[in-house]
Amino acid sequence: MRGTRCDIGVGSGVGHFLGPGLADPRPGGLLSIFGLRECSPMLDDFIHWLGATPVSLVIQKVFWIIPTVQIVHILAISAVLASMAMFDLRLLGLAGKRNSIASFSRRFMPWLWGSLLVLAISGSILIVGEPKRALGNVSFLLKMCMLATAIIVTLGFQVLLKRDLATGNTDLAPSHFVVAKIVGALSLVLWMGIAVAGRLIAYTGS
């Protein structure tokens, strides 16, 4: 950290990978357009404060904590991606046609919400242990935005499905099949984007 800047670093190798429009720190680069290269002094101070807290220092000093939590985090995201891939493919009509959408929801949604809880806990530990790596990182911010959107889309569809079941239907109402396909496609793209953005955090960090 320099002065009051967050300095979202983009390594030279990543700069070649992303192209000048994404990695160029000069005016016109994508990071500058979003205002993420020059972070607020408040965020910069928060990153510095969080990294100096006793909990953060313990996580940093005990060598096995971060690798272990990262393994748990990866396993949890794998469970989320597998569950949502199956559910979304069912919504798109590309898999599991012999089973109802409601049955797929009962089967895979508990895995989703349970894995998301593990992700929240493990992700929080990683942020506390390495705040500079995540906070202010463009890939981390994109990941969080897509994650929030994916959760809202999933919750919205679950509300719609429960409403149809409450009216006496055994599955999603036929009038909502088009909505199901749209939700399935959007959700699949979002979760793929979340996985890619999460992987890029290591390459677009400070």
How big is the CA angle at 140 (ends 19 and 74), to the nearest 5 degrees? 110
Quote the percentage of the chain above a pLDDT of 90: 43
pLDDT digits (tens, 9 = 90+) for 2-21: 444 444 444 444 444 444 44
Tell which residue, 202, 186, 188, 194, has the closest CA to residue 76.
194
pLDDT band of residue 172 (cuts 50, 70, 90) is confident
On whether the CB atoms of residues 164 and 35 are closer than 8 A, the answer is no
Task: Please determine, for residue 91, whether its predicted confidence score (pLDDT) is greater than 60.
Answer: yes
- pTM of the entire predicted model: 0.74
The residue ranges of every structural domain in the chain are 63-204
**Which residues neighbour 68 within 8 Å (Cβ) at sequence distance 6 or greater?**
none
Instruction: Look at residue 169 in the predicted model and tell me its pLDDT.
Output: 78
**Which residues neighbour 137 within 8 Å (Cβ) at sequence distance 6 or greater?**
8, 201, 204, 205, 206
Cα gap 16→77, rounded to integer Å: 28
pLDDT band of residue 24 (cuts 50, 70, 90) is very low
pLDDT digits (tens, 9 = 90+) for 124-149: 999 998 888 888 788 898 999 999 99
